Amino acid sequence: MAVLADLDRIYAAIAADGRGIDVLFANAGGGQLLPVEQVSEQYWDATLDANVKGVFFTVQKALPLLNDGASIILTSSTESTTAHAGLSVYSATKSALRTLTRSLANELRARGIRVNAVSPGPIDTPGVDGLAPDPSMVDQFKGALGASVPLGRLGRPEEVAAAVLFLASDQSSFTTGGEIHVDGGLAQFHP
**Parts of the chain with a pLDDT under 50:** none
Sign of the CA dihedral running 73, 186, 162, 153: positive
For 13, 53, 102, 114, the CA distances from 2, given in Å and listed in that order, are 18, 6, 21, 23
pTM over 0.75: yes
Q: Report the C-alpha gap between 81 and 83 in whole angstroms.
A: 7
Answer for the pair 104, 70: CB distance below 8 angstroms, yes or no.
no
90 as an active site residue: the answer is yes
Number of Cβ within 10 Å of residue 141's Cβ equals 16
Which CATH code fits 4-184? 3.40.50.720
Q: What angle do CA 71, 96, 151 make, to 5 degrees?
A: 80
Q: Report the C-alpha gap between 73 and 114 in whole angstroms.
A: 8
Q: What is the DSSP letter of 53?
A: I
Answer for the pair 15, 65: CB distance below 8 angstroms, yes or no.
yes
Q: What is the pLDDT of residue 116?
A: 98
Which of 90, 93, 96, 108 is flagged as catalytic?
90
Beta bridge partner(s), residue 75:
118
Q: What is the pLDDT of residue 190?
A: 67
Q: What is the pLDDT of residue 9?
A: 95
Answer for the pair 148, 135: CB distance below 8 angstroms, yes or no.
no
